[in-house]
Amino acid sequence: MNERESIISLREQLHRHNYNYYVLNAPTISDKEFDEMMHRLQALEEKYPDMSDPNSPTQRVGSDLNDEFRTVPHRRPMLSLANTYNLEEVREFYQRVSDGLHGQPFQVCAELKYDGLSISLHYRDGKLVQALTRGDGVQGDDVTANVRTIRSIPLVLDSSREDIPEEFEIRGEVLMPWQSFERLNDERSQAGEDLFANPRNAASGTLKSKDPKVVSQRGLDAYLYYLLGEDIPSTGHYENMESARSWGFQVSKDMRLCNTLEELWEYISYWDVHRKELPVATDGIVIKVNSLAQQKALGMTAKSPRWAIAYKFQAEQACTILREVTFQVGRTGVVTPVANMDSVLLSGTMVHRATLHNADVLEALDLHIGDHVLVEKGGEIIPKIVGKEGTENGKRKTENSEKSEYSEKSEYSEKSEYSEYSEYSETSDDKHPPFRFPFSVFRSPIHFIQRCPVCGTPLVRGEEEASHYCPNDLHCAPQIIGRLEHFVSRKAMNISQVGPELIQQYYRNGMLHDVSDFYRITHDKKVADSVARSTEVPFERVLFALGIRFVGEIAAKTLARKFKDIDSLMSATMEQLLETDGIGNVIAESIINYFASEENRALIERLRQAGLQFTLSEEQLSTHSTTLQGQSIVISGVFAHHSRDEYKRIIEQHGGKNVGSISGKTSFILAGENMGPSKLEKAEKLGVRIVSEDEFLAMIGQE
Ligand code: IVH
């Protein structure tokens, strides 16, 4: 065997050993032998760079840094499931299915609902070509490089299997096992870093990490639960998953086919107890009609299929003693009361802090130091106090109340990797010592505070608002830091080299006072380059980045389009603002207040000097939508509905970018008839998706 052949052979062997170890938990060689083989392969790959392969087992340790994650449309939308919280609703689902199938017999597949973040893996010719997060369900982030480091995900499938479709997607959940989660948090705590609130956050933060090497070390795992494609082997979901398991995917062994509601009850009650023994977090049971034909007949609603439902386990509660209430100040100045309690074990983690949301919730709970409080951790990240021991409040919640307080999983899984729940303490200094609420009288009821715990400014509460906030936005430290973090974030200026830690550091060193100081950084070239690139960011995102209270992404876009430049917006009257679609009193007033401030106007001037975009170009004005924003598209072939030039214009109008040649950065190829064979080959090699004319028109809503 020559060295080139050895590369192929070592890869095959290592893929197999990897599977034995990570999926079957049954290694057949020692770790030492495995490492030796890996080193041999690494050395050979270095010697023969022309044989490099992104799916080589050596890539499991992580390749180059991700610059940023491309947003890529899903080939098939990634739906979520309707949730139920009690067995009665499961019975109703069962009945609806039965009615929908006009009394036909049917089977359901019951399986565990894994609590991580969903992922869609795309395979072609037996190789992993792309991995996307759920994103908004229509398009997700390309996290392929990071996913390649997850050892239980096969990069290459056994080519001797004849039932593997040429092209398919398999979906599942990326998870951080409890063990890895605890190890990670131990390390972070020793390093004085913020802890992750739960394994889901940790998994999500890790998968979005810019450094695949970090991902590789964090011990992520994945379970797959949904196979999609034209030529999948069976007519039943369960059977398809069995096939997927035999192809090398990690598919739960705890799926059950149920013929009756009674069998389903048994499954649910068994797992309600035994799920605690699993190595990963689960938060419910998913019930799916098994026959694909019956699934098709049942169809779906706008958001979720009618053939499946998620039953969420009752949130676990624990009782502990309240020791102190502290108050935390967020980016927009909102002050949140936080309960500090004796540590208690809840759903597998130690909990000692819980949110009390706002003044109303705090008052309604009528808390005293020393109270025995009931803490609950449901689907949300942050534990909450639901009542005191012996009160009625600890009872099971209805569907609405469980969902209301925090955004749904899909949204918060896209957020930054750090728990948003770190209390304001890191920046405390001599002038601003960490706040402690002065309880002098033991057992006196706890009330909301009147002044900002950081800067002492009297708090205000807007009419009909639940929260109190500190109006000293320009000089209150957590608000300044929050604004700096918001400014660099992806949807704002996207200054990817600057994260929360660096901001804290620069702020403490006195290098950053407001967002214009970013543009004076010179000592770190990487940072300076990343900052310089942000001067290209269009006006609407600059406006969003300023962090004007209540001016979110959509409002910023509407305002930018209506007023076209910052000067017109700054001089707009209340009436003019109110004439704008979607801008009501609250937003309009906030804008007027923002620009009334001399300091804010001076800031805008400094940003203008730094070269930021404060005008919308003609080209941007003619953009119809942002469906294709951030996507690089190659056009190839001949088309039936529009000419190539028209397609170029359409792409721009929807925010996309036309590029001439295919590269790894291409989001997709809009392919008409007769696409050239060399392009096709290149696209396949790089795993770039090919979109037909009809698919493309559907994508931009012109079916
Ligand atoms: S099936 C159309 N099966 O729960 C059906 N989902 O709200 C798609 N999940 O987004 C999903 N375990 O992230 C399915 N065994 C399982 C699951 C599961 C966890 C997650 C998934 C999905 C969400 C549904």
Domains of the chain: 3-61 (1.10.287.610), 83-312 (3.30.470.30), 477-621 (1.10.150.20), 625-699 (3.40.50.10190)
Reference 192, options 505, 497, 511; nearest CA is 505
HSE of 158, CA atoms in CB hemisphere, 13 A: 15
Please give the distance, rounded to the nearest whole angstrom, from the Cα atom of residue 181 to the centre of ligand 1. 21
Nearest CA to ligand 1 atom 21: 118
The pLDDT, as a whole number, for residue 64 is 62
Reference 387, options 334, 315, 311, 438; nearest CA is 315
CB 570 within 8 A of CB 601: yes
Ligand 1: does its nearest atom lie under 6 Å from the Cβ of 114?
yes
Ligand 1: does its nearest atom lie under 6 Å from the Cβ of 113?
yes
pLDDT in tens, 637-696: 888 888 787 888 788 878 888 888 888 888 999 998 878 777 888 888 888 888 999 889
Q: How far apart are the first and last CA of the chain?
A: 55
Q: Say which DSSP state 686 is in.
A: H
Neighbours of 337 (CB within 10 A): 25
The pLDDT, as a whole number, for residue 299 is 94
Residue 91 vs residues 168, 501, 633, 683: alpha-carbon distances, Å? 33, 49, 47, 48
Ligand 1: does its nearest atom lie under 6 Å from the Cβ of 319?
no
Q: Mean pLDDT in each 10-residue stretch from start to end of the chain (703 residues)?
A: 94 92 84 88 92 89 70 90 90 96 97 96 96 90 94 93 94 95 80 74 89 88 97 96 96 96 95 89 95 96 90 86 94 90 85 90 93 78 80 41 30 28 34 45 81 96 84 92 92 91 93 96 94 94 91 86 94 93 85 95 97 86 75 88 82 84 88 80 85 87 67
- 176 vs 94: CA distance, rounded Å: 32
For 473-524, what is the HEC assignment? Answer: CCCCHHHHHHHHHHHHCCCCCCCCCCCHHHHHHHHHCCCCCCHHHHHHCCCC
| H/E segment holding residue 95 | helix 87-100
pTM metric for this prediction: 0.56
- 107 vs 92: CA distance, rounded Å: 16
Q: Which residues are catalytic?
A: 113
Strand order in the sheet with 167-175: 127-133, 117-124, 167-175, 221-228
- 236 vs 162: CA distance, rounded Å: 18
Residue 60 vs residues 42, 133, 146, 282: alpha-carbon distances, Å? 12, 19, 9, 26
Candidate from 113, 228, 250 with most ligand 1 atoms within 8 A of CB, to mutate? 113
Ligand 1: does its nearest atom lie under 6 Å from the Cβ of 307?
no
The pLDDT, as a whole number, for residue 411 is 27
Nearest CA to ligand 1 atom 13: 118
Candidate from 285, 286, 407 with most ligand 1 atoms within 8 A of CB, to mutate? 286
HSE of 593, CA atoms in CB hemisphere, 13 A: 15
User: Is residue 186 classed exposed, middle or buried when 0-12, 13-18 and 19+ CB atoms within 10 A define those classes?
Assistant: exposed
